[in-house]
A and B are shown apart, each in its own frame.
Chain A
Amino acid sequence: MPENKPDIGRLVDEAAKAIGLPIAAHYRDKVILNYERSVAIAQPLLEIELDDELTPGPVFRP
Protein backbone atom coordinates (compact mmCIF):
# COMPACT_ATOMS: atom_id res chain seq x y z
CA MET A 1 0.00 0.00 0.00
CA PRO A 2 1.80 3.16 -1.16
CA GLU A 3 0.16 5.32 1.55
CA ASN A 4 1.69 3.03 4.21
CA LYS A 5 5.19 3.42 2.84
CA PRO A 6 7.27 5.08 5.56
CA ASP A 7 9.04 8.35 4.89
CA ILE A 8 12.54 7.04 5.54
CA GLY A 9 14.14 10.46 5.14
CA ARG A 10 12.03 11.88 7.94
CA LEU A 11 12.47 8.75 10.05
CA VAL A 12 16.27 9.00 9.74
CA ASP A 13 16.25 12.69 10.62
CA GLU A 14 14.07 12.26 13.70
CA ALA A 15 15.67 9.03 14.97
CA ALA A 16 19.14 10.58 14.60
CA LYS A 17 17.99 13.56 16.67
CA ALA A 18 16.51 11.24 19.29
CA ILE A 19 19.79 9.38 19.85
CA GLY A 20 22.04 12.43 19.41
CA LEU A 21 23.73 11.34 16.20
CA PRO A 22 24.53 14.31 13.97
CA ILE A 23 24.28 13.34 10.30
CA ALA A 24 25.95 15.85 7.97
CA ALA A 25 23.96 16.81 4.89
CA HIS A 26 26.46 15.10 2.57
CA TYR A 27 26.04 11.77 4.40
CA ARG A 28 22.23 11.88 4.59
CA ASP A 29 21.33 10.36 1.21
CA LYS A 30 23.55 7.31 1.76
CA VAL A 31 22.19 6.83 5.29
CA ILE A 32 18.66 6.82 3.84
CA LEU A 33 19.71 4.38 1.08
CA ASN A 34 21.23 2.04 3.67
CA TYR A 35 18.19 2.32 5.92
CA GLU A 36 15.94 1.42 2.96
CA ARG A 37 18.17 -1.59 2.19
CA SER A 38 17.93 -2.67 5.83
CA VAL A 39 14.13 -2.44 5.75
CA ALA A 40 14.10 -4.66 2.65
CA ILE A 41 16.50 -7.22 4.13
CA ALA A 42 14.61 -7.26 7.46
CA GLN A 43 11.28 -8.10 5.79
CA PRO A 44 11.46 -11.92 6.13
CA LEU A 45 12.09 -11.48 9.87
CA LEU A 46 9.35 -8.91 10.28
CA GLU A 47 6.81 -11.08 8.50
CA ILE A 48 7.09 -14.25 10.61
CA GLU A 49 5.06 -14.85 13.73
CA LEU A 50 6.65 -16.13 16.92
CA ASP A 51 5.01 -17.82 19.92
CA ASP A 52 4.82 -15.60 22.99
CA GLU A 53 6.64 -18.27 24.97
CA LEU A 54 9.71 -17.98 22.74
CA THR A 55 12.18 -15.97 24.80
CA PRO A 56 15.32 -14.41 23.34
CA GLY A 57 18.72 -16.02 23.66
CA PRO A 58 21.06 -13.02 23.71
CA VAL A 59 23.78 -15.02 25.48
CA PHE A 60 23.94 -17.80 22.99
CA ARG A 61 25.13 -21.25 24.05
CA PRO A 62 25.25 -23.76 21.23
Chain B
Amino acid sequence: MNDPLSKQATATDIARAVMSRKVKATAVVEAALTRIETGEPAVNAFTDVLGERARRRAAEIDGGRHRGALVGVPFAVKNLFDIKGLPTRAGSKINLDGPIAGRDASLVRKLEAAGAILVGALNMGEYAYDFTGENAHYGPSRNPHDTTRMTGGSSGGSGAAVAAGEVPLALGSDTNGSIRVPSSLCGVFGLKPTYGRLSRAGSYPFVDAFDHLGPLARSVDDLALAFDAMQGWDPDDPVCTDRDAEPTLAELGEGVGGLRIAVAGDYFERGAEAVALEAVERVAKALRATKKIVIPDAAVARSAAYVITAIEGSQLHLPRLRTRPQDFDPDTRERFMAGALLPGAWYVKAQRFRRRYRAAVQKLFEEVDIILAPATPCTAPRLGQVMMKLGGVEMAVRANLGVFTQPISFIGLPVVVAPVQKPNGLPIGVQIIANHYNEAAALRVARHLEKEGVASAPPA
Protein backbone atom coordinates (compact mmCIF):
# COMPACT_ATOMS: atom_id res chain seq x y z
CA MET B 1 0.00 0.00 0.00
CA ASN B 2 1.23 3.48 -0.87
CA ASP B 3 1.52 6.28 1.66
CA PRO B 4 -2.02 7.83 1.52
CA LEU B 5 -0.48 11.31 1.53
CA SER B 6 1.83 10.61 -1.42
CA LYS B 7 1.46 11.29 -5.14
CA GLN B 8 1.38 7.56 -5.80
CA ALA B 9 -1.57 6.93 -3.45
CA THR B 10 -4.57 5.38 -5.15
CA ALA B 11 -8.17 6.07 -4.15
CA THR B 12 -8.20 2.57 -2.65
CA ASP B 13 -5.11 3.32 -0.52
CA ILE B 14 -6.63 6.57 0.74
CA ALA B 15 -10.10 5.19 1.50
CA ARG B 16 -8.61 2.28 3.47
CA ALA B 17 -6.37 4.59 5.47
CA VAL B 18 -9.15 7.07 6.25
CA MET B 19 -11.64 4.30 7.04
CA SER B 20 -9.25 2.69 9.51
CA ARG B 21 -8.40 6.11 10.95
CA LYS B 22 -4.72 5.77 10.10
CA VAL B 23 -4.91 9.18 8.46
CA LYS B 24 -7.34 12.07 8.66
CA ALA B 25 -9.31 13.23 5.63
CA THR B 26 -8.17 16.78 6.40
CA ALA B 27 -4.53 15.68 6.04
CA VAL B 28 -5.33 13.93 2.73
CA VAL B 29 -7.01 17.08 1.38
CA GLU B 30 -4.16 19.34 2.52
CA ALA B 31 -1.66 17.04 0.80
CA ALA B 32 -3.71 17.10 -2.42
CA LEU B 33 -4.06 20.90 -2.35
CA THR B 34 -0.29 21.24 -1.86
CA ARG B 35 0.39 18.90 -4.79
CA ILE B 36 -2.00 20.91 -6.95
CA GLU B 37 -0.28 24.16 -5.95
CA THR B 38 3.16 22.82 -6.78
CA GLY B 39 2.12 20.84 -9.87
CA GLU B 40 -0.04 23.42 -11.64
CA PRO B 41 2.67 25.71 -13.02
CA ALA B 42 3.90 22.71 -15.02
CA VAL B 43 0.72 20.90 -16.08
CA ASN B 44 -2.13 23.48 -15.99
CA ALA B 45 -4.75 20.82 -15.29
CA PHE B 46 -7.07 22.88 -13.05
CA THR B 47 -9.25 25.87 -13.84
CA ASP B 48 -10.84 26.04 -10.36
CA VAL B 49 -9.45 24.82 -7.04
CA LEU B 50 -12.08 24.44 -4.31
CA GLY B 51 -9.91 24.60 -1.18
CA GLU B 52 -12.54 25.92 1.19
CA ARG B 53 -15.24 23.48 0.10
CA ALA B 54 -12.82 20.52 0.23
CA ARG B 55 -11.48 21.43 3.69
CA ARG B 56 -15.03 21.78 5.05
CA ARG B 57 -16.03 18.41 3.65
CA ALA B 58 -12.89 16.74 5.00
CA ALA B 59 -13.55 18.16 8.48
CA GLU B 60 -17.09 16.71 8.34
CA ILE B 61 -15.66 13.31 7.42
CA ASP B 62 -13.17 13.46 10.29
CA GLY B 63 -16.14 14.34 12.48
CA GLY B 64 -17.77 11.03 11.58
CA ARG B 65 -20.02 12.01 8.67
CA HIS B 66 -20.10 10.77 5.04
CA ARG B 67 -18.77 7.23 5.33
CA GLY B 68 -18.51 5.18 2.14
CA ALA B 69 -16.26 3.21 -0.18
CA LEU B 70 -14.44 6.37 -1.33
CA VAL B 71 -14.19 8.05 2.05
CA GLY B 72 -11.62 10.85 2.09
CA VAL B 73 -10.63 10.45 -1.58
CA PRO B 74 -9.90 13.77 -3.29
CA PHE B 75 -11.20 13.98 -6.85
CA ALA B 76 -11.66 16.60 -9.57
CA VAL B 77 -13.97 16.89 -12.56
CA LYS B 78 -13.70 18.18 -16.12
CA ASN B 79 -15.17 21.67 -16.09
CA LEU B 80 -18.27 20.64 -18.03
CA PHE B 81 -19.66 19.09 -14.82
CA ASP B 82 -21.90 21.43 -12.83
CA ILE B 83 -20.37 22.51 -9.53
CA LYS B 84 -22.70 24.43 -7.25
CA GLY B 85 -21.78 28.11 -7.17
CA LEU B 86 -19.66 28.11 -10.35
CA PRO B 87 -20.46 28.75 -14.01
CA THR B 88 -20.03 25.54 -16.04
CA ARG B 89 -17.24 26.61 -18.39
CA ALA B 90 -17.16 23.54 -20.67
CA GLY B 91 -13.78 24.91 -21.71
CA SER B 92 -15.31 28.11 -23.06
CA LYS B 93 -15.06 31.80 -22.27
CA ILE B 94 -18.68 32.34 -23.33
CA ASN B 95 -20.15 30.14 -20.58
CA LEU B 96 -18.55 32.32 -17.89
CA ASP B 97 -21.44 34.70 -18.65
CA GLY B 98 -23.94 31.86 -18.35
CA PRO B 99 -25.88 30.63 -15.33
CA ILE B 100 -24.20 29.72 -12.05
CA ALA B 101 -24.86 26.06 -11.26
CA GLY B 102 -27.52 25.65 -8.57
CA ARG B 103 -26.33 22.19 -7.62
CA ASP B 104 -23.60 19.68 -8.36
CA ALA B 105 -23.82 17.30 -11.32
CA SER B 106 -25.38 13.94 -10.56
CA LEU B 107 -22.08 12.00 -10.64
CA VAL B 108 -20.38 14.52 -8.34
CA ARG B 109 -23.19 13.99 -5.84
CA LYS B 110 -22.88 10.22 -6.16
CA LEU B 111 -19.11 10.25 -5.55
CA GLU B 112 -19.53 12.57 -2.57
CA ALA B 113 -22.28 10.34 -1.21
CA ALA B 114 -19.63 7.59 -1.23
CA GLY B 115 -17.34 9.83 0.85
CA ALA B 116 -15.14 11.35 -1.87
CA ILE B 117 -14.13 15.01 -1.69
CA LEU B 118 -14.33 17.35 -4.70
CA VAL B 119 -11.21 19.54 -4.88
CA GLY B 120 -11.63 21.30 -8.22
CA ALA B 121 -12.61 21.65 -11.86
CA LEU B 122 -10.33 20.62 -14.70
CA ASN B 123 -9.19 22.16 -17.95
CA MET B 124 -10.59 20.86 -21.25
CA GLY B 125 -10.81 21.60 -24.96
CA GLU B 126 -13.52 24.12 -25.76
CA TYR B 127 -17.01 22.60 -25.74
CA ALA B 128 -15.31 19.15 -25.90
CA TYR B 129 -14.74 19.46 -29.67
CA ASP B 130 -11.14 18.45 -29.26
CA PHE B 131 -8.66 15.59 -29.09
CA THR B 132 -5.60 17.72 -28.09
CA GLY B 133 -6.21 19.21 -24.62
CA GLU B 134 -5.31 22.65 -25.97
CA ASN B 135 -7.38 25.69 -25.06
CA ALA B 136 -6.89 29.28 -26.22
CA HIS B 137 -8.69 30.78 -23.19
CA TYR B 138 -7.09 28.90 -20.31
CA GLY B 139 -3.89 27.59 -21.88
CA PRO B 140 -3.20 23.97 -22.81
CA SER B 141 -3.15 21.23 -20.25
CA ARG B 142 0.39 19.83 -20.42
CA ASN B 143 1.48 16.22 -20.45
CA PRO B 144 3.24 15.38 -17.16
CA HIS B 145 5.61 13.01 -19.04
CA ASP B 146 6.87 15.89 -21.17
CA THR B 147 5.31 19.29 -20.65
CA THR B 148 6.10 20.34 -24.22
CA ARG B 149 3.57 17.73 -25.37
CA MET B 150 -0.21 17.42 -25.53
CA THR B 151 -2.27 15.63 -22.91
CA GLY B 152 -4.82 14.64 -25.50
CA GLY B 153 -8.38 15.80 -25.13
CA SER B 154 -10.85 16.88 -24.62
CA SER B 155 -10.54 15.69 -20.98
CA GLY B 156 -6.94 16.94 -20.98
CA GLY B 157 -6.95 18.30 -17.43
CA SER B 158 -8.39 15.00 -16.18
CA GLY B 159 -5.52 13.03 -17.75
CA ALA B 160 -2.86 15.47 -16.56
CA ALA B 161 -4.14 15.77 -12.97
CA VAL B 162 -4.17 11.99 -12.48
CA ALA B 163 -0.87 11.32 -14.30
CA ALA B 164 0.86 14.07 -12.30
CA GLY B 165 -0.50 12.60 -9.05
CA GLU B 166 -2.36 15.80 -8.13
CA VAL B 167 -5.50 13.73 -7.49
CA PRO B 168 -5.93 9.96 -7.65
CA LEU B 169 -9.30 10.17 -9.40
CA ALA B 170 -10.87 12.43 -12.01
CA LEU B 171 -14.03 12.44 -14.08
CA GLY B 172 -14.09 13.19 -17.78
CA SER B 173 -16.48 12.97 -20.68
CA ASP B 174 -16.09 10.92 -23.85
CA THR B 175 -18.11 11.63 -26.99
CA ASN B 176 -15.66 10.27 -29.56
CA GLY B 177 -12.66 9.42 -27.40
CA SER B 178 -12.24 12.27 -24.92
CA ILE B 179 -11.55 9.98 -21.94
CA ARG B 180 -9.63 7.36 -23.94
CA VAL B 181 -7.30 9.71 -25.86
CA PRO B 182 -5.94 11.55 -22.77
CA SER B 183 -5.78 8.24 -20.85
CA SER B 184 -3.56 6.94 -23.65
CA LEU B 185 -1.33 9.99 -24.06
CA CYS B 186 -0.97 10.63 -20.30
CA GLY B 187 -0.63 6.92 -19.48
CA VAL B 188 -3.45 6.44 -16.96
CA PHE B 189 -6.37 4.04 -16.69
CA GLY B 190 -9.68 5.30 -18.09
CA LEU B 191 -13.19 3.87 -18.34
CA LYS B 192 -15.76 4.90 -20.91
CA PRO B 193 -18.82 2.94 -19.80
CA THR B 194 -21.73 1.72 -21.93
CA TYR B 195 -23.78 4.57 -23.42
CA GLY B 196 -26.48 5.46 -20.91
CA ARG B 197 -24.88 3.50 -18.06
CA LEU B 198 -23.92 6.57 -16.01
CA SER B 199 -26.09 9.66 -15.63
CA ARG B 200 -25.08 12.76 -17.56
CA ALA B 201 -27.46 15.00 -15.60
CA GLY B 202 -25.82 18.29 -14.69
CA SER B 203 -23.12 18.09 -17.34
CA TYR B 204 -22.80 20.42 -20.32
CA PRO B 205 -23.72 18.50 -23.49
CA PHE B 206 -21.83 18.18 -26.77
CA VAL B 207 -23.44 15.45 -28.90
CA ASP B 208 -26.35 13.81 -27.11
CA ALA B 209 -26.15 10.74 -29.37
CA PHE B 210 -22.64 9.90 -28.12
CA ASP B 211 -21.99 11.73 -24.83
CA HIS B 212 -20.66 9.48 -22.04
CA LEU B 213 -19.12 10.30 -18.64
CA GLY B 214 -16.56 8.20 -16.79
CA PRO B 215 -13.52 8.01 -14.49
CA LEU B 216 -9.74 8.23 -15.01
CA ALA B 217 -7.52 6.80 -12.27
CA ARG B 218 -4.13 5.36 -11.35
CA SER B 219 -5.42 1.81 -10.79
CA VAL B 220 -8.12 -0.52 -12.07
CA ASP B 221 -9.50 -0.99 -8.55
CA ASP B 222 -10.09 2.76 -8.44
CA LEU B 223 -11.94 2.75 -11.78
CA ALA B 224 -14.20 -0.01 -10.45
CA LEU B 225 -14.71 1.70 -7.08
CA ALA B 226 -15.75 4.95 -8.76
CA PHE B 227 -17.85 3.21 -11.44
CA ASP B 228 -19.74 1.19 -8.84
CA ALA B 229 -20.41 4.31 -6.78
CA MET B 230 -21.81 6.14 -9.82
CA GLN B 231 -24.08 3.44 -11.29
CA GLY B 232 -27.85 3.62 -11.03
CA TRP B 233 -30.88 5.06 -12.79
CA ASP B 234 -31.31 8.81 -12.84
CA PRO B 235 -34.61 10.31 -14.01
CA ASP B 236 -32.79 13.57 -14.81
CA ASP B 237 -30.98 11.95 -17.79
CA PRO B 238 -33.50 10.51 -20.26
CA VAL B 239 -30.82 8.24 -21.73
CA CYS B 240 -29.76 6.77 -18.37
CA THR B 241 -30.55 3.07 -18.14
CA ASP B 242 -33.00 1.72 -15.57
CA ARG B 243 -31.06 -1.56 -15.31
CA ASP B 244 -30.03 -2.45 -11.79
CA ALA B 245 -26.51 -1.45 -10.81
CA GLU B 246 -24.07 -4.33 -11.31
CA PRO B 247 -21.09 -3.86 -8.99
CA THR B 248 -17.78 -4.80 -10.61
CA LEU B 249 -15.23 -4.52 -7.80
CA ALA B 250 -15.86 -7.90 -6.18
CA GLU B 251 -15.11 -9.88 -9.36
CA LEU B 252 -12.08 -7.86 -10.49
CA GLY B 253 -9.62 -10.46 -9.27
CA GLU B 254 -11.28 -13.37 -11.11
CA GLY B 255 -8.69 -13.22 -13.87
CA VAL B 256 -9.21 -13.71 -17.56
CA GLY B 257 -10.00 -17.43 -17.60
CA GLY B 258 -13.09 -18.10 -19.69
CA LEU B 259 -12.91 -14.82 -21.56
CA ARG B 260 -12.55 -15.06 -25.34
CA ILE B 261 -10.18 -12.27 -26.34
CA ALA B 262 -9.33 -11.15 -29.87
CA VAL B 263 -7.31 -8.39 -31.50
CA ALA B 264 -9.02 -6.00 -33.93
CA GLY B 265 -7.35 -6.23 -37.33
CA ASP B 266 -7.72 -4.38 -40.62
CA TYR B 267 -8.80 -0.77 -39.93
CA PHE B 268 -7.24 -0.86 -36.45
CA GLU B 269 -3.83 -1.89 -37.84
CA ARG B 270 -3.67 0.78 -40.52
CA GLY B 271 -2.54 4.35 -40.00
CA ALA B 272 -0.97 3.65 -36.62
CA GLU B 273 2.64 4.19 -35.60
CA ALA B 274 4.59 1.06 -34.68
CA VAL B 275 4.52 2.04 -30.99
CA ALA B 276 0.70 1.78 -30.92
CA LEU B 277 0.65 -1.65 -32.57
CA GLU B 278 3.50 -2.90 -30.35
CA ALA B 279 1.48 -1.95 -27.25
CA VAL B 280 -1.49 -3.98 -28.55
CA GLU B 281 0.82 -6.91 -29.28
CA ARG B 282 2.33 -6.76 -25.82
CA VAL B 283 -1.12 -6.75 -24.20
CA ALA B 284 -2.38 -9.56 -26.48
CA LYS B 285 0.67 -11.68 -25.64
CA ALA B 286 0.11 -11.22 -21.90
CA LEU B 287 -3.50 -12.33 -22.40
CA ARG B 288 -2.51 -15.18 -24.74
CA ALA B 289 -4.89 -13.73 -27.30
CA THR B 290 -4.02 -15.06 -30.74
CA LYS B 291 -7.34 -14.62 -32.52
CA LYS B 292 -7.74 -11.69 -34.89
CA ILE B 293 -11.12 -10.35 -35.93
CA VAL B 294 -12.30 -7.66 -38.30
CA ILE B 295 -14.86 -5.14 -37.13
CA PRO B 296 -16.75 -4.68 -40.37
CA ASP B 297 -17.11 -1.16 -41.78
CA ALA B 298 -15.08 0.45 -38.99
CA ALA B 299 -13.93 3.17 -41.41
CA VAL B 300 -17.55 3.96 -42.25
CA ALA B 301 -18.37 4.02 -38.53
CA ARG B 302 -15.64 6.58 -37.95
CA SER B 303 -16.93 8.63 -40.85
CA ALA B 304 -20.52 8.47 -39.57
CA ALA B 305 -19.46 9.38 -36.02
CA TYR B 306 -17.62 12.39 -37.41
CA VAL B 307 -20.68 13.55 -39.38
CA ILE B 308 -23.13 13.16 -36.48
CA THR B 309 -20.70 14.97 -34.16
CA ALA B 310 -20.11 17.86 -36.54
CA ILE B 311 -23.80 18.40 -37.23
CA GLU B 312 -25.21 17.87 -33.70
CA GLY B 313 -22.43 19.78 -31.97
CA SER B 314 -22.58 22.68 -34.38
CA GLN B 315 -26.37 22.92 -34.17
CA LEU B 316 -26.05 23.18 -30.37
CA HIS B 317 -23.72 26.18 -30.68
CA LEU B 318 -25.33 27.89 -33.66
CA PRO B 319 -26.90 30.74 -31.63
CA ARG B 320 -23.47 31.59 -30.14
CA LEU B 321 -21.73 31.22 -33.50
CA ARG B 322 -24.10 33.87 -34.81
CA THR B 323 -23.72 36.35 -31.97
CA ARG B 324 -20.29 35.79 -30.37
CA PRO B 325 -17.98 34.16 -32.90
CA GLN B 326 -15.04 36.27 -31.67
CA ASP B 327 -15.32 34.66 -28.22
CA PHE B 328 -14.81 31.07 -29.45
CA ASP B 329 -11.44 29.34 -29.38
CA PRO B 330 -10.02 29.84 -32.89
CA ASP B 331 -9.36 26.09 -33.02
CA THR B 332 -13.04 25.20 -32.65
CA ARG B 333 -14.86 28.20 -34.16
CA GLU B 334 -14.44 27.42 -37.85
CA ARG B 335 -14.92 23.67 -37.27
CA PHE B 336 -18.29 24.43 -35.66
CA MET B 337 -19.18 26.90 -38.43
CA ALA B 338 -18.39 24.34 -41.13
CA GLY B 339 -20.34 21.67 -39.23
CA ALA B 340 -23.42 23.90 -39.11
CA LEU B 341 -23.46 23.94 -42.91
CA LEU B 342 -23.20 20.19 -43.59
CA PRO B 343 -26.18 18.51 -45.34
CA GLY B 344 -28.89 17.03 -43.13
CA ALA B 345 -29.04 14.02 -45.44
CA TRP B 346 -25.58 13.00 -44.21
CA TYR B 347 -26.83 13.01 -40.63
CA VAL B 348 -29.79 10.77 -41.36
CA LYS B 349 -27.66 8.36 -43.37
CA ALA B 350 -25.15 8.19 -40.51
CA GLN B 351 -27.95 7.35 -38.05
CA ARG B 352 -29.33 4.68 -40.38
CA PHE B 353 -25.88 3.15 -40.80
CA ARG B 354 -25.48 3.14 -37.04
CA ARG B 355 -28.22 0.53 -36.66
CA ARG B 356 -26.62 -1.74 -39.24
CA TYR B 357 -23.17 -1.40 -37.71
CA ARG B 358 -24.49 -2.10 -34.20
CA ALA B 359 -26.07 -5.34 -35.43
CA ALA B 360 -22.85 -6.41 -37.17
CA VAL B 361 -20.70 -5.77 -34.11
CA GLN B 362 -23.24 -7.52 -31.86
CA LYS B 363 -22.72 -10.58 -34.04
CA LEU B 364 -18.98 -10.44 -33.38
CA PHE B 365 -19.67 -10.62 -29.66
CA GLU B 366 -21.19 -14.06 -30.21
CA GLU B 367 -17.62 -15.21 -30.96
CA VAL B 368 -15.60 -13.08 -28.52
CA ASP B 369 -15.99 -11.33 -25.18
CA ILE B 370 -13.20 -8.77 -25.51
CA ILE B 371 -11.67 -6.92 -28.46
CA LEU B 372 -8.27 -5.23 -28.20
CA ALA B 373 -7.38 -2.16 -30.29
CA PRO B 374 -5.01 0.81 -30.06
CA ALA B 375 -6.43 3.80 -28.18
CA THR B 376 -4.48 6.37 -30.19
CA PRO B 377 -2.48 6.03 -33.40
CA CYS B 378 0.59 7.64 -31.82
CA THR B 379 2.06 8.92 -28.56
CA ALA B 380 1.56 12.53 -27.47
CA PRO B 381 2.19 15.08 -30.26
CA ARG B 382 3.96 18.34 -29.46
CA LEU B 383 1.84 21.25 -28.19
CA GLY B 384 0.83 23.43 -31.09
CA GLN B 385 1.38 20.67 -33.64
CA VAL B 386 -1.36 21.03 -36.25
CA MET B 387 -0.61 18.25 -38.73
CA MET B 388 0.78 14.73 -38.35
CA LYS B 389 1.71 11.93 -40.73
CA LEU B 390 0.10 8.54 -40.18
CA GLY B 391 0.57 5.63 -42.54
CA GLY B 392 2.24 8.05 -44.96
CA VAL B 393 -0.78 10.36 -45.04
CA GLU B 394 -0.65 13.95 -43.79
CA MET B 395 -3.65 14.75 -41.57
CA ALA B 396 -4.92 17.22 -38.97
CA VAL B 397 -4.00 16.27 -35.38
CA ARG B 398 -7.19 17.72 -33.87
CA ALA B 399 -9.58 15.68 -36.01
CA ASN B 400 -7.61 12.43 -36.17
CA LEU B 401 -6.21 11.48 -32.74
CA GLY B 402 -9.52 9.67 -32.23
CA VAL B 403 -9.59 7.52 -35.37
CA PHE B 404 -9.50 4.31 -33.28
CA THR B 405 -11.86 5.46 -30.53
CA GLN B 406 -14.66 6.87 -32.71
CA PRO B 407 -15.89 3.59 -34.25
CA ILE B 408 -16.34 2.18 -30.71
CA SER B 409 -18.19 5.01 -28.93
CA PHE B 410 -20.33 5.34 -32.07
CA ILE B 411 -22.32 2.35 -30.77
CA GLY B 412 -21.78 2.95 -27.07
CA LEU B 413 -19.57 -0.05 -26.25
CA PRO B 414 -17.79 0.02 -22.87
CA VAL B 415 -14.00 0.40 -23.00
CA VAL B 416 -11.20 0.40 -20.45
CA VAL B 417 -7.93 1.99 -21.55
CA ALA B 418 -4.90 0.10 -20.25
CA PRO B 419 -1.82 2.36 -20.21
CA VAL B 420 1.45 0.82 -21.36
CA GLN B 421 4.51 2.68 -20.07
CA LYS B 422 7.80 2.83 -21.89
CA PRO B 423 11.02 3.47 -19.94
CA ASN B 424 12.46 6.81 -21.13
CA GLY B 425 9.60 7.10 -23.61
CA LEU B 426 6.01 8.25 -23.79
CA PRO B 427 3.10 6.03 -22.72
CA ILE B 428 0.35 4.79 -25.00
CA GLY B 429 -2.95 3.08 -24.26
CA VAL B 430 -4.74 -0.03 -25.47
CA GLN B 431 -8.54 -0.19 -25.69
CA ILE B 432 -10.12 -3.19 -23.97
CA ILE B 433 -13.56 -3.27 -25.58
CA ALA B 434 -16.46 -5.33 -24.21
CA ASN B 435 -20.06 -5.87 -25.17
CA HIS B 436 -22.75 -3.50 -23.92
CA TYR B 437 -23.16 -3.54 -20.13
CA ASN B 438 -20.15 -5.83 -19.70
CA GLU B 439 -17.82 -3.28 -18.11
CA ALA B 440 -16.96 -6.00 -15.58
CA ALA B 441 -15.17 -8.10 -18.22
CA ALA B 442 -13.11 -5.16 -19.53
CA LEU B 443 -12.15 -4.22 -15.98
CA ARG B 444 -11.14 -7.83 -15.19
CA VAL B 445 -8.84 -7.87 -18.22
CA ALA B 446 -7.30 -4.52 -17.25
CA ARG B 447 -6.81 -5.76 -13.67
CA HIS B 448 -5.02 -8.86 -14.98
CA LEU B 449 -2.70 -6.70 -17.12
CA GLU B 450 -2.00 -4.49 -14.12
CA LYS B 451 -1.19 -7.52 -11.97
CA GLU B 452 1.14 -8.88 -14.65
CA GLY B 453 2.96 -5.54 -14.80
CA VAL B 454 1.97 -4.91 -18.44
CA ALA B 455 -0.28 -1.93 -17.73
CA SER B 456 0.33 0.68 -15.05
CA ALA B 457 -0.02 4.33 -14.18
CA PRO B 458 3.20 6.35 -14.41
CA PRO B 459 5.42 6.65 -11.35
CA ALA B 460 4.16 10.10 -10.27
Contacts and interface: CB of A to CB of B under 8 A. Distances in A.
A2 interface: no
A62 B302 CA distance: 18
A60 B299 contact: no
B390 to A, nearest CB: 14
Interface of B is mostly: helix
Interface of A is mostly: helix
B436 A62 contact: yes
B167 interface: no
Contacts of B337: 16, 21, 23, 27, 31, 34
Nearest to A33: B334
B351 A45 contact: no
B23 interface: no
Given A22-B322, A45-B346, A60-B354, A38 B300 contact: no
Nearest to B354: A57
Closest 6 pairs between A and B when the two form their complex, measured CB to CB: A56-B351, A34-B338, A30-B334, A62-B436, A15-B341, A45-B303
Interface size on A, as a range, is 35 or more
Nearest to A24: B325
Interface string B322-361: 1001000000011101111110001011111111101000
Interface stretch (B6-14, B198-206, B283-291, B304-312): B304-312
Interface of B: 194-196, 209, 239, 297, 299-300, 302-304, 306-307, 310, 318, 321-322, 325, 333-335, 337-342, 346, 348-356, 358, 396, 399, 411-413, 436-437
A29 to B, nearest CB: 8
Contacts of A20: 322
Contact of B437 (A23, A43, A62): A62
Interface of A: 11-12, 15-16, 19-24, 27, 30-35, 37-38, 41-46, 48, 50, 54-62
B436 A41 contact: no
Given A30-B334, A62-B358, A62-B412, 19 more contacts: A12-B341, A16-B341, A21-B337, A27-B334, A31-B337, A34-B335, A35-B338, A35-B342, A37-B399, A38-B307, A38-B338, A41-B302, A42-B303, A45-B304, A46-B349, A56-B348, A58-B351, A60-B412, A62-B436
Contacts of B396: 37
B321 A21 contact: yes
A14 to B, nearest CB: 9
A57 B146 CA distance: 42
B410 to A, nearest CB: 9
Contacts of A27: 325, 333-334, 337
Contacts of A30: 333-334
B318 A21 contact: yes
Nearest to B298: A44
A62 B338 contact: no
A59 B350 CA distance: 13
Nearest to B351: A56
Contacts of B299: 44
19 contacts: A15-B341, A19-B318, A21-B318, A21-B341, A22-B322, A22-B325, A34-B334, A34-B337, A38-B307, A42-B342, A45-B307, A45-B346, A45-B349, A48-B297, A55-B352, A57-B355, A57-B358, A60-B209, A62-B196
Nearest to A36: B338
A61 B333 CA distance: 31
- Chain A CB within 10 A, most for which of B307, B341, B346, B399: B341
Which residue among B194, B322, B349 has the maximum number of chain A CB atoms within 10 Å of its CB?
B349
Contacts of B340: 19, 21
